[in-house]
Amino acid sequence: MVGLTACGSEKSDGGGKKSGDTAQEQVSSPLAALKKASQRTDQQHSAKVEGTTTMGEANSSMKGEMDWADGMRANMTITQNGGAAASSPLAGKPMPARYTPDAMFMNLGDEFAAQAGDGKHWVKYDYDVLAEKAGPSGAFLKDQMQNTDPARSVQLLIATGKVKSVGSEKVKGTKATHYTGTVKVSELAKMQSKDLSESDLEGLQKQLEQSGMETETIDLWIDGNDLLVKKREQAKSNNGGYDSTVFYSDYGTKVAVDEPASSDTVNFEDISGQ
């Protein structure tokens, strides 16, 4: 769900074509195409999304709609399986989730409400609280959730400076060009963040390095309208592989997100001991 944040630019060589420039053309052409896709995608403010994420033995899927015009707002349905969720009564059950610029809300169902939620179905995950309690990784999550949009995935791949076109493929019936690149995890935190302090960046980078992750491979599919229609991120760590795929469609779709009633909401920090 969390998009990638990056500041990247493409530099022109400022000259005409010369013999021996073929290799340079092969590099700059994908960058030019991605820069155009970044600008086009950045002009959009909403889309329908669906995707899957695998992390070690845990996996989850999500489907819904998001609007990033003024902070990230979204309505999602999330299903979790394996890993820590395997022994949970929530495993395999679709859970409604709502995202606002300040917090995420997840409906954990009737059983949770009866046993741990004091009769309340929704759990509120306040980004400020997560940043305080989870340290650099929490601050990074807050930064991502408040500054995310599909264009940032394109910008991150541009920022690597090394990207290649794999060719044309079909994405859910739509013809798209496939681009791929690899980014070093040691550079990932700084490239992805927007509002993190230097100390948070250093702490996050150490956490990423300790996880055993060295590089992350990013694959993007851009359609004929220069819009991102699919994103895949892959990495390996000490806890196994990480593989996330997200599809984007219906750019410009209307998104209305309402916070759950406070009378039916409990704060995550108030039940974290349970």
Query: What one-character DSSP code corresponds to residue 65?
Result: E
8 within some domain: no
Q: What are phi and psi of 102, to 5 degrees?
A: -110, -15
Token pair, residue 76, equals 């999602």
Question: What is the domain-level CATH number for residue 142?
Answer: 2.50.20.20
Find where tokens 């979204």 sit.
Answer: 74
- Beta-carbon contacts of residue 145 (< 8 Å; ≥ 6 apart): 2, 72, 99, 104, 127
10 within some domain: no
Q: pLDDT value at position 86?
A: 83
The answer to whether 203 and 180 have CB atoms below 8 angstroms apart is no
The answer to whether 7 and 196 have CB atoms below 8 angstroms apart is no
CA distance 59 to 87: 13
13 within some domain: no
Q: pLDDT value at position 211?
A: 66
Token pair, residue 236, equals 């390996």
Q: pLDDT value at position 165?
A: 93
Token pair, residue 130, equals 């997560």
The pLDDT tens digits along the chain (274 residues) read 333 222 233 333 333 444 344 333 334 488 899 999 989 988 899 999 999 999 888 999 999 999 988 888 999 999 999 888 888 888 899 999 999 999 999 999 999 899 888 899 999 999 888 888 777 667 767 776 766 778 877 887 887 778 899 999 999 999 999 999 988 766 665 655 555 566 666 666 666 666 666 678 889 999 999 999 999 988 887 777 889 999 999 999 999 999 999 999 999 988 876 5
For every residue of 101-161, DSSP letters joined together read SSEEEEE-HHHHHHHTSTT--EEEEEHHHHHHHHHHHHHHHHHHHHH--HHHHHHHHHHHS
Domains in the chain, number: 1
6 within some domain: no
Angle at which helices 150-160 and 185-192 pack, to 10 degrees?
130
1 within some domain: no
199 within some domain: yes
167 within some domain: yes
Can you name the residues that pair with 169 across neighbouring β-strands? 176
Token pair, residue 240, equals 């196994």
Token pair, residue 37, equals 């896709």
Cα distances (angstroms) measured from residue 106 to each of 111, 113, 183, 239: 14, 12, 32, 26
Closest CA to 229 of 94, 47, 15: 47
Q: pLDDT value at position 46?
A: 95
Residue 37 belongs to domain spanning: 23-271
130 within some domain: yes
CA distance 9 to 35: 8
CA distance 256 to 249: 17
